[in-house]
Amino acid sequence: MSTPPTSDIDLFADEVLLDPYPVYAELREQGPVVHLRKNDVHALTRYDVIRGALADWESFSSTSIAFNPMANEALTGTSLASDPPVHTQLRATLTENLSPRALRGLKGKIETKADALVAELVEKGSFEAIDALARAFPLEVVADLIGFTGHVRDNMLRWGQAAMQVLGPMNQRTAENFPVAGELYAWCSQVEAADLAEGSVGRGIFEAEARGAIPPNTAGHIIHQYLGAGVDTTMAALGNLVALLGSHPEQLDLIRKDPSLVSSAFNEVLRFWPPINAWGRRATKDVEIDGVVIPEGAQVAILLGAGNRDPRHYENPDAFLVERNPIDHLSFGYGPHGCAGQGLARLEAHAVIDALARRVKRLAVGPEVRVPSNITRSIEELPVLEVIPA
Amino acid sequence: MKIVLDRARCEGHGLCEEAAPRLMHLDDDGELVLDREEVDEADAALANAAVRVCPVAALRVA
């Protein structure tokens, strides 16, 4: 047994956040575990090791999913940052209204909304895809689902972005976003049933709290997690799918010819460009992986995108191929903490891909604009210069 | 070989049904039903595929 190889790569440097894939390839070749001195984290770089760690909550605790102690402290008591057995109950409460089981009735509504939005954009002929589609659609779906109205609806975008930014190391981006994430936290700690639209899932969570189905004072926490974890990531995934289908017209053609590829295509979008770059864990003991040791107490960084491009697991991993159907991609995580909102994300993304494949022959996209962000990797602006309708 | 479902973990994502429709399905309430728990050699690969795709690790083979 020995210590892992080391590297001076800074995971949170602007250029790495904007395009992490060359760095991921370098780290992956160094070994499945690499100690990054600048970040003082042990990075997991290969598919098998990442999936193994996500399943192994006894060795890799979620009490340190963020890369700074303040954010981890603030998340204490949420399902996101807990380990079993406490996690099991919190997770059940969180997913009660969010699991595919709970969302079955929403499918038709979401498909109708996606189709109307895509039809409107096709009609326009050119548009900016991030604001008009990637942000607008999940904001509307989530706002309606949880029952947000008024100023909360207007704040969802910046609150959701800030909630992810503050999970980074204590750099300038994190510091600037703490006050904004704090607004979300403050609102969620005083929100009441009457603030949410009648008949909404949000109202349902308060009703569950009132009848004792979930522990007292948990409704606000749950709403905080819906907003914090579910908004920024879904927007990233939808922006990515428009960009990738626009820049790979032959792949869009494949879906147009065979609509049964919609789900496979979304899996490939997520594999190719995961919305989340790095996610934290803490080693609860000395953990041996392929002959090297991660010391007890070490902060671990799970590099989802590095695992998704591991040639040991996926053939030709740097190609975007909608027929690949990489159903076991790592972008939703895996195991007890596997993304709780993945059912909703699938409903939204499948509806958008399906509408695009039916209504669009080709999307001519201009260069995408990106800004560095600590945790979420997403497109800031994506001009669709011309839509060729189907 | 036996398929074991951890019902508390299952959230009804349904990916196992896509992988192995012969062995399991979601009922009208979105609850997973194992149509065959004892799996013979011929269906072992299917069972393993279903276990592999469960996003919350609610299935295993014993």
β-strand partners of B34:
B24
Chain B: nearest CA to A63, how far in angstroms? 19
C-alpha span between B62 and B60 (Å, rounded): 7
C-alpha span between B39 and B42 (Å, rounded): 8
pTM comes to 0.96
- How many distinct structural domains can be found in chain B? 1
By residue range, what is the domain housing residue B32? Answer: 3-61
Contacts of B11 in chain A (CB under 8 A): 95, 99-101, 340, 343
Beta strands in chain A (DSSP E): 6-7, 33-36, 41-44, 60-61, 127-128, 278-283, 287-289, 292-294, 299-303, 360-365, 383-389
Q: Do A99 and B11 touch (CB under 8 A)?
A: yes
If chain B, 62 residues long, is cut into consecutive pieces of 10 residues, what is the mean pLDDT of each piece?
Answer: 94 94 94 94 94 96 94
Chain A: nearest CA to B21, how far in angstroms? 16
Contacts of B53 in chain A (CB under 8 A): 327-328
Chain B: nearest CA to A55, how far in angstroms? 8
**Secondary element (H or E) of residue B60:** strand B59-61
Residue to substitute from A327, A332, A337, interface B, most B β-carbons within 10 A: A327
C-alpha torsion angle, residues A213, A218, A220, A221 (rounded to 10):
-130
Q: How would you write the pLDDT of chain A (390 residues) with one tens digit per residue?
A: 799 999 999 999 999 999 999 999 999 999 999 999 999 999 999 999 999 999 999 999 999 999 999 999 999 888 899 999 989 888 888 888 888 888 888 999 999 999 999 999 999 999 999 999 999 999 999 999 999 988 888 899 999 999 999 999 999 999 999 999 999 999 999 999 999 999 898 998 899 889 988 888 888 988 998 898 889 999 999 999 999 999 999 999 999 999 999 999 999 999 999 999 999 999 999 999 999 999 999 999 999 999 999 999 999 999 999 999 999 999 999 999 999 999 999 999 999 999 999 999 999 999 999 999 999 999 999 999 999 999
Provide the 3-class DSSP secondary structure of residue A276: strand
- Integer-rounded Cα radius of gyration of chain A: 20
B27: contact with A, CB 8 A cutoff:
no
Topology of A6-389 in CATH?
Answer: Cytochrome p450 (1.10.630)
Q: Do A336 and B57 touch (CB under 8 A)?
A: yes
Q: What is the CATH number of the domain that holds B23?
A: 3.30.70.20
Contacts of B32 in chain A (CB under 8 A): none
Write phi, then psi, for A247 (nearest 5 degrees). -85, -5
Q: Which residue of B has its CA nearest to A96?
A: B11
Which pLDDT score, from 0 to 100, does residue A349 have?
98
Q: Angle, to 10 degrees, between the axis of helix A342-359 and the axis of helix A107-124?
A: 40
